[in-house]
Structure 1
Amino acid sequence: MHNTVLLSEIFGWMSLINIGLLSLATLALIWMGERITSVHSKFFNVQAHQLKIMYMNYLAQYKLLVFVFNLVPYIVLKIVY
Protein backbone atom coordinates (compact mmCIF):
# COMPACT_ATOMS: atom_id res chain seq x y z
CA MET A 1 0.00 0.00 0.00
CA HIS A 2 2.84 2.38 0.83
CA ASN A 3 4.43 1.79 -2.59
CA THR A 4 1.26 2.73 -4.44
CA VAL A 5 0.96 5.98 -2.48
CA LEU A 6 4.57 6.83 -3.30
CA LEU A 7 4.04 5.92 -6.95
CA SER A 8 0.92 8.07 -7.05
CA GLU A 9 2.85 11.04 -5.66
CA ILE A 10 5.64 10.53 -8.19
CA PHE A 11 3.19 10.47 -11.10
CA GLY A 12 1.42 13.51 -9.70
CA TRP A 13 4.63 15.56 -9.51
CA MET A 14 5.74 14.32 -12.94
CA SER A 15 2.40 15.43 -14.36
CA LEU A 16 2.60 18.82 -12.71
CA ILE A 17 6.16 19.48 -13.90
CA ASN A 18 5.52 18.32 -17.44
CA ILE A 19 2.26 20.27 -17.77
CA GLY A 20 4.14 23.33 -16.50
CA LEU A 21 6.86 22.85 -19.11
CA LEU A 22 4.26 22.32 -21.82
CA SER A 23 2.48 25.52 -20.78
CA LEU A 24 5.75 27.44 -20.70
CA ALA A 25 6.69 26.25 -24.19
CA THR A 26 3.23 27.16 -25.50
CA LEU A 27 3.32 30.62 -23.95
CA ALA A 28 6.84 31.22 -25.28
CA LEU A 29 5.67 30.40 -28.79
CA ILE A 30 2.62 32.65 -28.42
CA TRP A 31 4.44 35.65 -26.97
CA MET A 32 7.81 35.40 -28.73
CA GLY A 33 6.85 33.35 -31.78
CA GLU A 34 8.34 35.64 -34.42
CA ARG A 35 11.62 36.09 -32.57
CA ILE A 36 11.97 32.36 -31.89
CA THR A 37 11.03 31.51 -35.48
CA SER A 38 13.61 33.90 -36.92
CA VAL A 39 16.38 32.51 -34.71
CA HIS A 40 15.50 28.88 -35.43
CA SER A 41 15.07 29.45 -39.16
CA LYS A 42 18.57 30.93 -39.37
CA PHE A 43 20.11 28.35 -37.04
CA PHE A 44 18.57 25.25 -38.64
CA ASN A 45 18.14 26.65 -42.18
CA VAL A 46 14.40 25.93 -42.23
CA GLN A 47 11.72 28.22 -43.65
CA ALA A 48 9.48 30.06 -41.19
CA HIS A 49 6.20 28.48 -42.31
CA GLN A 50 7.71 25.00 -41.92
CA LEU A 51 8.89 25.87 -38.42
CA LYS A 52 5.38 26.80 -37.31
CA ILE A 53 4.17 23.37 -38.41
CA MET A 54 7.10 21.76 -36.61
CA TYR A 55 6.30 23.72 -33.44
CA MET A 56 2.68 22.55 -33.49
CA ASN A 57 3.79 18.94 -34.05
CA TYR A 58 6.22 19.24 -31.13
CA LEU A 59 3.54 20.62 -28.79
CA ALA A 60 1.00 18.00 -29.87
CA GLN A 61 3.41 15.10 -29.42
CA TYR A 62 4.64 16.40 -26.07
CA LYS A 63 1.05 16.83 -24.84
CA LEU A 64 0.17 13.31 -25.94
CA LEU A 65 3.22 11.86 -24.15
CA VAL A 66 2.41 13.78 -20.97
CA PHE A 67 -1.16 12.51 -20.98
CA VAL A 68 -0.27 8.89 -21.75
CA PHE A 69 2.78 8.44 -19.53
CA ASN A 70 2.12 10.88 -16.67
CA LEU A 71 -1.48 11.95 -16.26
CA VAL A 72 -3.34 8.71 -17.07
CA PRO A 73 -1.26 6.55 -14.66
CA TYR A 74 -1.76 9.20 -11.96
CA ILE A 75 -5.53 9.22 -12.45
CA VAL A 76 -5.67 5.42 -12.50
CA LEU A 77 -3.71 5.18 -9.26
CA LYS A 78 -5.99 7.77 -7.64
CA ILE A 79 -9.10 5.86 -8.74
CA VAL A 80 -7.81 2.45 -7.67
CA TYR A 81 -6.33 3.50 -4.31
Structure 2
Amino acid sequence: MEDLTTLTTFVGWCTVISIGLYLFSAIVLLICGEPVKTLHSRMASVPAEKLDEMYFTFLANFKLAFIMLNLVPYVALRLMQG
Protein backbone atom coordinates (compact mmCIF):
# COMPACT_ATOMS: atom_id res chain seq x y z
CA MET A 1 0.00 0.00 0.00
CA GLU A 2 2.93 2.34 0.63
CA ASP A 3 4.04 2.12 -3.02
CA LEU A 4 0.53 2.94 -4.22
CA THR A 5 0.37 5.95 -1.90
CA THR A 6 3.76 7.18 -3.11
CA LEU A 7 2.72 6.77 -6.76
CA THR A 8 -0.57 8.56 -6.11
CA THR A 9 1.27 11.45 -4.46
CA PHE A 10 3.71 11.67 -7.36
CA VAL A 11 0.98 11.68 -10.02
CA GLY A 12 -1.01 14.18 -7.94
CA TRP A 13 1.88 16.62 -7.89
CA CYS A 14 2.43 16.08 -11.62
CA THR A 15 -1.22 17.00 -12.10
CA VAL A 16 -0.87 20.18 -10.03
CA ILE A 17 2.25 21.25 -11.93
CA SER A 18 0.59 20.54 -15.29
CA ILE A 19 -2.47 22.60 -14.32
CA GLY A 20 -0.15 25.43 -13.30
CA LEU A 21 1.74 25.34 -16.61
CA TYR A 22 -1.51 25.22 -18.58
CA LEU A 23 -3.00 28.16 -16.69
CA PHE A 24 0.24 30.14 -16.96
CA SER A 25 0.37 29.59 -20.73
CA ALA A 26 -3.28 30.50 -21.21
CA ILE A 27 -3.05 33.62 -19.04
CA VAL A 28 0.13 34.85 -20.73
CA LEU A 29 -1.47 34.41 -24.16
CA LEU A 30 -4.63 36.13 -22.96
CA ILE A 31 -3.01 39.10 -21.23
CA CYS A 32 0.15 39.60 -23.30
CA GLY A 33 -1.11 38.31 -26.64
CA GLU A 34 0.33 40.92 -28.99
CA PRO A 35 3.88 41.10 -27.54
CA VAL A 36 4.04 37.29 -27.46
CA LYS A 37 2.80 37.10 -31.06
CA THR A 38 5.41 39.60 -32.16
CA LEU A 39 8.18 37.70 -30.40
CA HIS A 40 7.11 34.29 -31.73
CA SER A 41 6.55 35.67 -35.20
CA ARG A 42 10.11 37.00 -35.30
CA MET A 43 11.65 33.91 -33.67
CA ALA A 44 9.94 31.30 -35.85
CA SER A 45 9.30 33.31 -39.03
CA VAL A 46 5.59 32.53 -38.80
CA PRO A 47 3.02 35.09 -39.92
CA ALA A 48 1.35 36.72 -36.92
CA GLU A 49 -2.10 35.97 -38.40
CA LYS A 50 -1.44 32.23 -38.20
CA LEU A 51 -0.29 32.28 -34.57
CA ASP A 52 -3.79 32.49 -33.05
CA GLU A 53 -4.67 29.14 -34.62
CA MET A 54 -1.35 27.66 -33.53
CA TYR A 55 -1.84 28.88 -29.93
CA PHE A 56 -5.33 27.39 -29.84
CA THR A 57 -4.03 24.06 -31.17
CA PHE A 58 -1.20 24.09 -28.60
CA LEU A 59 -3.56 24.72 -25.69
CA ALA A 60 -6.03 22.09 -26.92
CA ASN A 61 -3.28 19.45 -27.28
CA PHE A 62 -1.80 20.39 -23.90
CA LYS A 63 -5.20 20.02 -22.24
CA LEU A 64 -5.82 16.65 -23.91
CA ALA A 65 -2.39 15.35 -22.89
CA PHE A 66 -2.91 16.68 -19.35
CA ILE A 67 -6.22 14.85 -19.01
CA MET A 68 -4.93 11.58 -20.46
CA LEU A 69 -1.49 11.49 -18.84
CA ASN A 70 -2.09 13.17 -15.48
CA LEU A 71 -5.70 13.50 -14.43
CA VAL A 72 -7.02 10.07 -15.47
CA PRO A 73 -4.13 8.14 -13.83
CA TYR A 74 -4.53 10.22 -10.66
CA VAL A 75 -8.26 9.51 -10.46
CA ALA A 76 -7.65 5.81 -11.15
CA LEU A 77 -5.03 5.59 -8.40
CA ARG A 78 -7.33 7.37 -5.96
CA LEU A 79 -10.11 4.90 -6.78
CA MET A 80 -7.72 1.97 -6.27
CA GLN A 81 -6.89 3.23 -2.78
CA GLY A 82 -10.54 3.00 -1.86
Deviations 1:37-76 (A, max 9, x none): 0111112111112111111111111111111011100001
Computed over aligned residues only, the root mean square deviation of the Cα atoms, in angstroms, reads 0.7
For 2:56, give the aligned amino acid: M
Residue correspondence of structure 1 range 1-81 to structure 2 within 5 A: 1-81=1-81
Identity of aligned residues (%): 35
Gaps spanning 5+ residues in structure 2: where? none
Distance in 2 (alpha carbons) for counterparts of 1:17 and 1:64: 15
Query: 1:23-48 deviations in whole A, cap 9, x for unaligned?
Result: 00000000000010011111211111
Gapped regions of structure 1 (runs ≥ 5)? none
* Count, aligned residues: 81
